[in-house]
A and B are shown apart, each in its own frame.
Chain A
């Protein structure tokens, strides 16, 4: 594994962990400090699923050939499941003080289907791209 791809894998892993675990957990902590309660948010699920996707990002970066392409697709599958679970946690926000009460309700509807479909198609394309790259390297060696 060359230096460039090692750095790329390392950076991707850090970015994935920050965006899937750190940002949601601290983002919700900040929102709750403003008095807004998110009743369906489950921190443990976010940490577990986010860490799994992070680990798969690392694995898909360090594995090569067919295994690398499969890992990439599995990573995108896990990512789609993470999106599904996470988006369904952000469907109700409640602001309740003695003076005022307000609620924001979100139904992700077709948008959620679009997010999941796009993630899966991206996963398929990325893994096919990885496979094609390996084939290219193999032909070059010949």
Chain B
């Protein structure tokens, strides 16, 4: 049988340990959120670059090639399942072409390049050159932040920009 002082001592340790554990769990969660935000900010700032883009006119179409480099400039999390999709459309939402590339894994400090190729019918390109239609490029950039193959949180960035011509 425990004495009263022993029970008080055990309860005191138990109470303090449980409270400390609850605080530690909360801190781990807050620290994790901060680290994800830091890595996401690094990636947004300098992680995605268009390194090369050119166009080639063939007999019946214009081929646009875009090379996108993705650097995992973060400090803590790997990037998984990167899906880059580029499409060309007009202001009536007619999609002329679409290309997708998937990169499975970019570790911290790693780098990968995606090459996307799109073609527009020559008559559409001419209409655009003459300023009769507007063309837009829509880019989807979707990826997971994770560690040790566990995908924690997914970010997707969608951007639309008008192609300048005419």
Residues of A within 8 A of B4 (CB): 139-140, 142
Contacts A122-B26, A140-B8 given: A105-B19 contact, CB under 8 Å?
no
Q: Determine the interface band of chain A, counting residues with CB < 8 A from chain B.
A: 20 to 34
- CB of A109 within 8 A of CB of B151, answer yes
Q: Per DSSP, are chain B's interface residues mostly helix, strand or loop, or mixed?
A: helix
Residues of A within 8 A of B1 (CB): none
- CB of B155 within 8 A of CB of A105, answer yes
Residues of A within 8 A of B8 (CB): 136, 139-140
Binary contact readout A100-142 vs B (1 if CB under 8 angstroms, 0 otherwise): 1111111111110011001001110110111011011001101
Q: Does B11 contact A (CB under 8 A)?
A: yes
Residues of A within 8 A of B111 (CB): none
Bound Cα distance from A130 to B19, whole angstroms: 8
The smallest C-beta distance from B76 to any residue of chain A, in angstroms, reads: 13
The smallest C-beta distance from B26 to any residue of chain A, in angstroms, reads: 6
Residues of A within 8 A of B36 (CB): 111
Residues of B within 8 A of A101 (CB): 158-160
Residues of B within 8 A of A114 (CB): 29, 32, 152
- CB of A100 within 8 A of CB of B156, answer no
Select one of B32, B151, B156 contacting A105, CB under 8 A.
Answer: B156
Residues of B within 8 A of A115 (CB): 29
Q: Does B59 contact A (CB under 8 A)?
A: no
- CB of B150 within 8 A of CB of A126, answer no
Q: Does B142 contact A (CB under 8 A)?
A: yes
Q: Does B94 contact A (CB under 8 A)?
A: no
Bound Cα distance from A106 to B21, whole angstroms: 30
Residues of A within 8 A of B102 (CB): none
Q: Does B18 contact A (CB under 8 A)?
A: yes
Q: Does B154 contact A (CB under 8 A)?
A: yes
Bound Cα distance from A125 to B94, whole angstroms: 57
Q: Does B51 contact A (CB under 8 A)?
A: no
Residues of A within 8 A of B156 (CB): 103-107
The smallest C-beta distance from B162 to any residue of chain A, in angstroms, reads: 8
- CB of B157 within 8 A of CB of A102, answer yes
Residues of B within 8 A of A140 (CB): 4, 8
Residues of B within 8 A of A109 (CB): 144, 151-154
- CB of A107 within 8 A of CB of B153, answer yes
Contacts A122-B25, A132-B14, A139-B7 given: A104-B155 contact, CB under 8 Å?
yes
- A sample of 26 inter-chain contacts (CB < 8 A) reads A100-B160, A100-B161, A102-B157, A103-B156, A107-B153, A107-B155, A107-B156, A109-B153, A109-B154, A114-B152, A115-B29, A118-B25, A118-B28, A122-B26, A125-B18, A125-B25, A128-B14, A129-B14, A129-B15, A129-B17, A129-B18, A132-B11, A132-B14, A135-B11, A136-B11, A139-B8
Q: Which 7 A-B pairs have the closest CB atoms?
A: A129-B18, A105-B156, A107-B154, A136-B11, A132-B15, A103-B158, A101-B160
